[in-house]
Amino acid sequence: MEKDLVIGIDSSTTACKAIVWDTAGNLVSQARFPVGMQQPHPTWHEQSAEEWWSACVRVLGNALEGVDSKRLAALCITPQRETFVPVDRRGAPVRKGIVWMDARARPLL
């Protein structure tokens, strides 16, 4: 079977999106699922890494529905800029991710 499909995953500030293209650049399938934002204080912006993961799993499942996964040749993932999540030794999040637009450290600049 020809491996003629590419899937792209974009985890952005507002949603996780997945798009499947063929090697000619034609859209085959796509899916989108929103991701929530928490603001525990003004200018603070946080998101749950678990929510990122569940949104990613969901959009992959939806985008690949009806697509023969044996045709996939490549996967591309784009993240949210400088967003980070502190993790423990096992890789489990110890707190919500601090999103790239969070301003709590601005006084240190």
Q: Which two three-digit tokens encode residue 52?
A: 């990122």
Tens of pLDDT along 49-60?
A: 999 999 999 999
Q: Nearest CA to 82 among 103, 99, 96, 94?
A: 99
Average pLDDT over residues 56-84: 91
Position 39 scores a pLDDT of 96
Average pLDDT over residues 68-83: 89
Q: For the chain, give the longest Cα–Cα distance.
A: 57
Report residue 105's pLDDT band, with 50, 70 and 90 as the boundaries: confident
DSSP β-ladder status, 15-22 and 97-98: unpaired
Q: Nearest CA to 37 among 105, 104, 99?
A: 99
Per mean pLDDT, which range of 34-43, 48-57, 85-94, 98-107 is the poorest? 98-107
Read off the pTM. 0.85
Position 19 scores a pLDDT of 97
List the end-to-end C-alpha distance of the chain, in Å, as a whole number: 55
3-state secondary structure of 57: helix
> Is the pLDDT at 29 greater than 80, yes or no?
yes
Cβ neighbors of 57 (< 8 A, separation 6 or more) are none
